[in-house]
Amino acid sequence: MPRNEVETLLKSVIYPSLEQDIVSLKVVEDIVISDNSVKITLSLNNEKVFEAIENQIIDLLSSKFKNVEVIFQAKQAKSTTYGSTANPNNRAKYAKNVIAVTSGKGGVGKSTVSVNLSVALAQKGYKVGLLDADVYGPNAPRMLQVQDEKLQWGDNNKIIPSENFGIKVMSVGLTTPKSDTPLVWRSSVAISALIQFLEDVDWGELDFLVIDMPPGTGDIQLTMAEELPLRAGVVVTTPQMVSTDDVSRAIMMFKDIGVKIGGIIENMSYFIAPDTKQRYDIFGSGGGEEIANKYSVPLLGQVPLLMDIRSSSDEGKPAVAMCSDEIKAYYKNITNNLLFEIGEL
C-alpha cells in the first residue's frame, strides 16, 4: 500500500477530545512502509492521549499490514528564548523579506504609509503580509476595510489572517470584542501577543512581511529586531522639526542595532489648496531631506497632505489602489525606490 493511501486512511483517526483527525492536526510526523510493515511516528504534546490514538491506528491498519508500529515523539516546544540584535531569531521563516516601518513620534502617518506600501508591493505581484504591531493604536484594519472581522482559527490550529486589496493582515484590533476596547497591557504582554502573531498565524509563503511598528524606540522595536532578520527599516516623518528630532532617534536606534535603513519617507510634506492651487508648507519644508543628508540615508519620497488620502484611509480604501493616478504615483515611486535600495529592483 502506498504512503498516500495510508495517510488517507489516517484521516479517520480522531484525536481524543478535539474531534479532529490527526492528519489535519499535523500529528503524523512520519510514515515508513517496508514490505508488509508500517511504522508511523506521532508528534504529540500530550503523551496521555498516545495510547488511545495508537489503538485506533492499529485497529485501522492491522488488516492491511502484518506489522503495525506506532512511535511516540514529544513535540518540540516553541522557542521561548529571545535572540539578539546581532544574532536574531527568525520567527517568520515563511517571509523572504521583513520590512519594519516606524516613526520617531505618533501622528505622522506611519500606518497610512505601511498600508499603502504593502498594497503597492502586492500590485507588483509580490505575496505580502501586513502585521500591525502598533498594539495601542491598531489602525490597519480600518484602513483596509476589515475592521468588523473577528479572529478565526483554521483546521491547522493557526489563526486565519484577514485579506483585502491583495494582502494578508493581522492586527490586535481584530482580537478585541469592541472597537473601543482599550488594551491596557504591559510591554511584556504586548510582545507575547506579537510573537504569537508571527508564529501562530497562517501567513503562507510571503515575499514581504511589512510590520507597522508603534512610534518611538521601545521594547517592541527592540524585540522585533531580536526575533526577525529585518531586511530594512523605513522611517516616516513630517517636515516639522519636532518630528525630525524624534526621527533622528529612530534612525540611530536602527543604526545601533545593525538594521539597514531602507530610507526615509516625508509625509504631509506640503498642502496644495484645491481652489487656488497655491502650495502651503504647513509643517515646514526640507526636514526629511535634511535628515536624510545628515545620516547618509536615502529619501524614498515625499507625500503631500491631501484630503483624498485622508478620506480614502478613513473609508478603508488605500490611496495607492483607489485614488487618482497622481496620488497613486507617490506610493508607487516610494515602493520602487525601496525595492532598489534593498536590491530587489
pLDDT in tens, 199-214: 999 999 999 999 998 8
Q: Over the stretch 276-330, which tens digit does the pLDDT of each residue have?
A: 888 888 887 888 888 888 888 999 999 999 889 999 998 999 999 999 999 999 9
Does 85 fall in a domain? no
Q: Over the stretch 64-121, which tens digit does the pLDDT of each residue have?
A: 999 999 998 876 655 555 567 677 888 999 999 999 998 877 788 889 999 999 999 9
Domain that holds residue 138: 95-341
Same domain, 165 and 100: yes
Does 255 fall in a domain? yes
Same domain, 36 and 120: no
Strands (E), the chain: 14-15, 20-21, 28-34, 37-44, 67-74, 95-103, 128-132, 162-164, 167-171, 206-212, 232-237, 261-267, 271-272, 279-280, 299-303
The closest alpha carbon to 137, from 163, 119, 111, 114, belongs to 111
pLDDT(126) > 90: yes
Instruction: Give the CATH number of the domain where residue 177 resides.
Output: 3.40.50.300
Same domain, 159 and 69: no
The closest alpha carbon to 314, from 175, 174, 139, belongs to 139
Same domain, 178 and 222: yes
Instruction: Give the number of domains in the chain.
Output: 2
Same domain, 43 and 105: no
Residue finishing a domain among 74, 103, 136: 74
Same domain, 112 and 24: no
Same domain, 169 and 106: yes
Instruction: Give the CATH number of the domain where residue 41 resides.
Output: 3.30.300.130
Does 50 fall in a domain? yes
Strands (E), 172-237: 206-212, 232-237
Does 333 fall in a domain? yes
- Cell numbers 513535540 label which residue? 75
Does 88 fall in a domain? no
